[in-house]
Amino acid sequence: MREYNELIFEISREGRIAYTLPACDVPETCIKSSFPASMLREKELGLPEVSEVDVIRHYTLLSNKNYGVDTGFYPLGSCTMKYNPKINEDMASLPKFTGLHPYQPEETAQGALRLMHDLDGMLAEITGMAQVSLQPAAGAHGELAGLMIIKAYHQNRGDSKRNKIIVPDSAHGTNPASASVAGFDIIQINSDEKGAVDIEALKAVLNDEVAGLMLTNPSTLGLFEKNIKEIADLVHEAGGLLYYDGANMNAIMGYTRPGDMGFDVVHLNLHKTFSTPHGGGGPGSGPVGVSKKLVDFLPVPVIEKQADKYVLNYDKPLSIGRVKSFYGNFGVIVRAYAYVLTMGAEGLKKASEMAVLNANYMKERLKNHYYLPIDDICKHEFVLSCFGPDQHEVSTLDIAKRLLDYGYHPPTIYFPLIVDSAIMIEPTETESKETMDKFIDAMILIAEEAKTNPELLKSAPHNTHVRRLDEVKAARTPVLKWSK
């Protein structure tokens, strides 16, 4: 295939256009007389001039340099890169959804409001929460909203000294970052040797300044917190609340629910568990669900059913306020709704069952070739630690780059931080045994190459569009836009 390395600005030619507009059918306003000269643009717009075919070819050729779930296996741990069903795309692009103005009268958007109200209820049922808000735009945004709710709850009780959030060292980086943005101080606690919450370490930091504990369960190691009930009781006894990071919800649907484990606040990632596409980094959607005592603190507006009508209720005096314009990433919400309806109760449980079976199968087959620091039943993902503490000739990065040569998106690497040289593998339920077997074969081959020809790994990848990049140069002398 021909190599394509041009920027859109470089193929621009003066006078070319890719658009058509009808002739202006009203008297043209003289821009110069409508605005003072000081308000008008003097500089030329720095945009390309290309024809329509130029646009199509440019982006098509760029798309060829990408790798998505539709291209192949994408076992990126913690990101749940499951298949994105196509009917969901069709549903989200129905003109009577895409063509709705957020401020049009409620009576003209009853279908959309009902859809959102329904999904609220479904997600509440799946998580065991009393109510859900679909407003947050992404997982980290849902975390932020959830933490604000925790803060508002304590403040409303007059308990204003609770300004600390406990975060385990295995947590996603967003957890402490979100807590900080919500105005909390962070207490990090170390995990025990099995990657679980160290109960003694937790007890040692619990006091009347603790607002809550953030937890991912199963943890970022893919392991279920067996002591979850004791943890929840300890935090609650100390007057704190329990926050559930829903990144790993794909492991437990229909088996257990955060609400039943004792969590007070939950966020979900519709782009993970509920099959909506990751979009190259977004848009996502990060609904936040809460237990009964926190319902009044959810962001406004709240979608409610009053008699036979769905309405947007802004009259919630205890609400944390608004965290985003309008009502959420509606287009993403439609896809997740279609997914839940397609799967049904049994389908969702089956998805979790197979996600866990697939992960355990891969773990068992790979543990003889890579170092598995915690050899236990895993949930939907597991974490390897390269070849173990004594083998350092090739790195986790080298293994990841070599996987590119074999046509795979590598697993998540160097996370969680508590595992040295981590390789975090999450197959999801949408992959067949054959796909996983081929990936396992490639991993085993790479383990062999690491011994016989380490240079091959260190210089990988060899057959991608570009090879290893100079990231230091990118950061030291940043070039963040094209210029002539």
Partner 1 sequence: MHPYIPNTTIEEDQMLQSIGIKNTDALFSDIPAEVRLTRKLNLGDSMSELELSRFVKGLADKNKSIDDMVCFLGAGAYDHYIPSIIKHITSRSEFYTAYTPYQPEISQGTLQVIFEYQTMIANVTGMDVANASMYDGATACAEAGMMAVENTKRKSLVVSKSVHPEVRQVLATYMKFHGVEVVELDCKDGVTDAEALKTAVSGTTAGVVVQSPNFFGIVEDLTEIESITHNSKAMLIVNVIDPISLGILKTPGELGADIVVGEGQAFGNSLNFGGPYVGFMATTNKLMRKMPGRIVGETTDIDGKRAFVLTLQAREQHIRREKATSNICSNQALNALISSIYLTTMGKNGLKEVAEQCASKAHYAYDQIIGTGKFKPVFDKPFFKEFVVQSSRKASEINAELLKHNILGGYDLVKDYPGMENALLFCVTEKRTKQEIDKLVEILKGM
From candidates 202, 221, 302, 320, binder to partner 1 by CB under 8 A: 320
How far, in Å, CA of 163 to CA of 189, rounded?
A: 16
Based on the shown chain and the rule CB under 8 A, indicate whether residue 209 belongs to the binding site for partner 1: no
Which of 284, 288, 399, 457 forms a contact with partner 1 (CB under 8 A)?
A: 284
* Residue pair 86/69 in contact by the 8 Å Cβ criterion: no
* 214 scored as a contact of partner 1 (CB under 8 A): no
Nearer to partner 1, 64 or 391 (CB): 64
Rg of the Cα trace of the chain? 25
CA distance 484 to 156: 57
Distance CA 272, CA 336 (A): 10
Phi, psi of 230 (to 5 degrees): -65, -40
Between strands 210-215 and 164-168, the pairing is parallel
Nearest distance from residue 208's CB to partner 1, in Å?
20
Nearer to partner 1, 238 or 319 (CB): 319
Tokens of residue 119, six digits: 């999904």
Of 112, 113, 146, 153, which is closest to residue 132 (Cα–Cα)? 146
CA dist., res. 206 & res. 213, Å (int): 9
Could you tell me the smallest distance in angstroms from the CB atom of residue 462 to partner 1? 10
Residues in the chain: 484
CB 83 within 8 A of CB 275: yes
Q: Are 300 and 277 in contact (CB under 8 A)?
A: no
Taking CA atoms, 402 is separated from 389, 395, 439, 453, 463, in Å, by 21, 11, 12, 12, 10
Among 324, 369, 438, 458, the residue binding partner 1 under the rule CB under 8 A is 324
Q: Which of residues 228-247 bind partner 1 (CB under 8 A)?
A: 228-229
- Interacting span for partner 1 (CB under 8 A) from 78-86, 205-213, 382-390, 442-450: 78-86
Taking the least distance from each CB to partner 1, the nearer of 391 and 482 is: 482
Scan residues 1-60 and list those touching partner 1 (CB under 8 A): 5, 7-9, 12, 16-19, 21-22, 24-29, 31, 34-36, 38-50, 52, 55-56, 58-60
Least Å distance, CB 447 to partner 1, is 18
Minimum gap (Å) between residue 390 Cβ and partner 1: 27
Phi, psi (rounded to 5 degrees) for 218: -60, 155
Span of 201-209, 234-242, 253-261, 385-393 interacting with partner 1 by CB under 8 A: 253-261
Give the interface segment with partner 1, choosing from 98-106, 198-206, 288-296, 450-458 (CB under 8 A): 98-106
Distances from the Cα of 421 to the Cα of 205, 390, 399, angstroms: 29, 12, 11
Burial of 95 (C-beta count, 10 Å sphere; 0-12/13-18/19+): exposed
Asked if 119 is part of the footprint of partner 1 (rule: CB under 8 A), the reply reads no
* Cβ proximity to partner 1, 224 vs 371, nearer residue: 224
For the CB of residue 293, give the shortest distance to partner 1 in the complex, in Å: 19
Least distance from partner 1 to the Cβ atom of residue 383, Å: 16
Nearest approach, Cβ of 175 to partner 1 (angstroms)? 8
- Min. distance of Cβ 388 from partner 1 in angstroms? 22
The residue type of 33 is S
Q: Is position 484 an interface residue for partner 1 (rule: CB under 8 A)?
A: no
Based on the shown chain and the rule CB under 8 A, indicate whether residue 125 belongs to the binding site for partner 1: yes
- SS3 at position 203: helix
For 43-62, b/e burial (b = at least 16 CB within 10 A) is eeeeebebeeebeeebeeee
Is residue 464 a contact point for partner 1 (CB under 8 A)?
A: yes
407 to 446, contacts with partner 1 by CB under 8 A? 409-410, 412, 415, 429-433
What b/e string do you get for 377-410 counting C-beta neighbours within 10 Å, with b at 16 or more? ebbbbbbbbbbeeeeeebbbbbbbbbbbbbebbb
Min. distance of Cβ 165 from partner 1 in angstroms?
9
Provide the minimum distance between the beta carbon of 140 and partner 1 in the complex, in angstroms, as a whole number.
4
Shortest Cβ 204–partner 1 spacing (Å): 20
Closest approach, Cβ 392 to partner 1, in A, equals 22
Q: Which of 400, 418, 425, 443 binds partner 1 (CB under 8 A)?
A: 400
Give the distance, in angstroms, between the CA of residue 145 and the centroid of all CA atoms in the same chain. 15
Residue 316 touches partner 1, criterion: CB under 8 A:
no
Residues paired with 164 in a beta bridge: 185, 210
DSSP state of 191: B
Q: Site residues for partner 1, window 148-177 (CB under 8 A)?
A: 148, 151, 172-174, 176-177
**Binding positions for partner 1, 343-362, rule CB under 8 A:** 343-351, 353-354, 356-358, 360-361
# binding residues, partner 1 (CB under 8 A): 200
Q: Is 68 in the site for partner 1 (CB under 8 A)?
A: yes
Cβ proximity to partner 1: between 165 and 238 the closer is: 165
Euclidean distance between CA atoms 143 and 243, whole angstroms: 9
Binding mask 174-203 for partner 1 (x = CB under 8 A): x-xxxxxxxx--x-----------------
Binding of partner 1 at residue 466 (CB under 8 A)?
Answer: yes
| Environment class of 20 (CB within 10 Å of its CB; exposed 0-12, middle 13-18, buried 19+) | exposed
